[in-house]
Structure 1
Amino acid sequence: MMKTIDGNQVYTIARTASSFFFQRKSTTIATEDYQQIYNAIKDLLTLLSCAITFRSIALLEHYLLWLKLRLGAFAITDELFKYKMDCIRRALEAELDQKPAVYFFDEAVKNVQNQEITITPIDENVRTYLNYIMSMDREGALHFIESMMASGMNMHSIYLNILEPALYETGRLWQSRVIDIYQEHYATAVTHAAMSLIMTRLKENNGGGGLSVIAASPSGEGHDLGLRMVCDFFELEGIHTFFLGCNIPTESIYKSLVFRKPDVLCLSLTLPEFLPDVVALIHMIRANPVLTSMKILVGGQVFNIDPVLTEKIGADIYAGSAMDAVKQMRVLL
């Protein structure tokens, strides 16, 4: 049986792997980037521990592909990336008496070794919206969204065909070190404003059958825009939605459930390291007889990578997109 890697082991293995890696010092790597490379190794080991805990090689493979793109921006060539993976493997063997964990890591590395990172082309509307954001022209971006609404484009199309692809692209540009983190955060802020603008123009739907939803992301999770999109779609369906946002402590989410007793809890997760918090919350919910009829719907990048995690953590429903979440809710109606 594979054992997980604890926090102390993560730091020890990261230091060992880094020492191996820096023995082969590359002149193409700036000195100030060394700390970030060490942090990347540490984060990878944290992810490896999570992937082992939940027996999800898909989580590790996805992170390796992301890391390959990110490190490429630090002048880490494919050849150096392979060498780095070998350093981590050697460190795992040196510091762990766990052959299954090393085998798990090897399998993931082998599976992504020859995979190419594909870049999805963006259309003219997305590019126009992004140009306003990169120019830090909030008013221009919002006027553009207003013009799309005036042209007859509905809320679903604007969310899914402009706002969502624009955010994916800003994330990719940050990973590639084309833009700074402040620009990515600015894009998120403007998109929140665009969504608020759209929602004020829509008529309230009195349908929904009285269904109520509490939506949140657990403590530590800093992404909530996708969850808010889902909640806006729910509101358009007439579903009574309580959007708590992100970075909500597990105990606080639980208290809100006991207080409101919703029909559905909607949880969104982008980062795998917070899966244990979601599991702890679900255990608390299942132990309370008052909440036995409540359904738990999960979504976000973690579950899109490995939908089987839905069953593993004890949730009821997986939604792969905002529209899928709406379809799942219509079934409950």
Structure 2
Amino acid sequence: MVIAERNRAAAERLTSAHVEPPSFIRPEAPLGVVACGYLDALLQGDQRRALEVIREAIEASTPVKDIYVHVLHPCQYEVGRLWQLRQLSTAEEHYCTAVTQMVLSQLYPLIGNADRAGRRLVATAVDGNRHEIGARFVADFFEMAGWDTFYLGASTPAQDAIDEAVHRAADVLAVSATLDDHLASVGDLVAAARADERCRDVVVLVGGQPFGVDHDLWRQLGADGSAPTAEQAVRVAEQLLAAPR
């Protein structure tokens, strides 16, 4: 029922007047100039310059978290927007994403937190979702908050994700969906987790573009919560774990 309703809504949007979504990049925003430089390098296919933009920001003592929030996150959304508008090809979108994944790998050694939270997260993109960078963002923000994280990557089958959450004694299983087409798989994973006695105490968080459009969708699919950003996902998880269940 949820998927059918969203398909009808999508059809209505396609037949309505076209309104181009605004850019996610604004020069006046925090680190907006850095974001503009990084995005321009991506769009020009200049990997070295993109890496140099980030390196210069680090050398200027810009906090890594700020680079995630104000540069990488909005630029990745902007790449997706340009792809949806057919101003970027699929190959170009994949290239931009691959460069950002490289940046994340280089930043990872800098996000360690000496104060461990004593909590564990398993994060993945739902089965069928090959856009894994959202789940990677989530895992990295939990790592910055002192959690032990286990990032499974793209398109993980539901049972494998559940088994890994059990194996790792995870407090939270975070699942990312990029398109409406992935929602059936999210629902299947949540249902399987709910039916598995081993996951009785595991909090299931869901996120991604569809949940930003319909803010009640996570509830309809049976998850414990959702958040519009990776940073907010940490706060939601901590609140859920602190509340009586």
TM-score by length of 1: 0.65
Q: Which residue of 2 aligns with 1:329?
A: 237
Deviation per CA, 1:308-331: give whole Å up to 9, x if none: 121111111111111211211332
The DSSP-based 3-state class of the residue aligned with 1:246 is coil
Give distance in 2, aligned partners of 1:241 and 1:60.
37
Distance, in Å, in 1 between the alignment partners of 2:105 and 2:11 is 32
Residue 317 of structure 1, aligned match among 221, 225, 229: 225
Any residues of structure 2 matched to 1:197-212 within 5 Å, and which? 197-208=106-117, 210-212=118-120
Distance across 1 between alignment mates of 2:17 and 2:182 = 29
Unaligned regions of 5+ residues in structure 2, if any? 28-32
What corresponds to 2:30 in structure 1? none
Distance 1:117 1:134, change over 3 A: closer
The residue that corresponds to 2:195 in the other structure is: 287
CA contact (8 A) 2:131 2:154 kept: yes
Counterpart-to-counterpart distance in 1, 2:168 and 2:227 = 23
Correspondence for 1:143: 52
Post-superposition offset of 1:290: 2.0
**Is 1:118 aligned with 2:70?**
no
In 1, Cα distance between equivalents of 2:12 and 2:60: 42
Which amino acid letter does the alignment assign opposite residue 226 of structure 2?
A: Y
TM-score, with length taken from structure 2: 0.86
Counterpart CA distance in 1 for 2:17 and 2:147 is 45
Q: Is the CA contact (8 Å cut-off) linking 1:205 and 1:236 kept in structure 2?
A: no
CA RMSD, 1 decimal: 2.2
Cα deviations across residues 27-75 of structure 1 (Å, max 9, x unaligned)? xxxxxxxxxxxxxxxxxxxxxxx632xx44xx6545765xx5xxxxxxx
Instruction: Confirm or deny that 1:274 pairs with 2:182.
Output: yes
- Percent identical pairs in the alignment equals 31
More helix per residue: 1
1:276 deviates by 1.9
Match for residue 215 of structure 1 among 123, 143, 155: 123
- Deviations 1:218-270, CA, capped at 9 Å, x for gaps: 22111111211111111011101110011111222122133223111101111
Q: Assess if the C-alpha contact under 8 Å between 2:112 and 2:143 holds in 1.
A: no
Alignment of 1:126-165 (within 5 A): 126-165=35-74
Runs of 4+ in 1 over 3 A off after TM superposition: 59-65
CA–CA separation in structure 1 for the residues paired with 2:132 and 2:65: 18
In structure 1, C-alpha distance between the alignment counterparts of 2:190 and 2:86, rounded to whole Å: 37
Report matched runs for 1:57-96 at 5 Å.
Answer: 60-61=8-9, 65=13, 85=15
Is this contact kept in 2: 1:223–1:246, CA < 8 A? yes
CA distance in 1, matches of 2:213, 2:190: 20
Aligned AA (1:141): A
Q: Which runs of 5 or more structure 1 residues have no equivalent in the other structure? A: 5-49, 69-84, 86-112
Aligned position for 1:189: 98
More moved, 251-260 vs 225-234: 251-260
How do 1:28-39 and structure 2 match up within 5 A?
none
Match of 1:264 in 2: 172
- 1:96-129 Cα offsets, whole Å, 9 max, x none, are xxxxxxxxxxxxxxxxx35633313532322211
| Aligned partner of residue 206 in structure 2, secondary structure | strand
Amino acid at match of 1:161: H
Larger radius of gyration: 1
| Aligned equivalents of 2:10, 2:212: Cα separation in 1 | 11
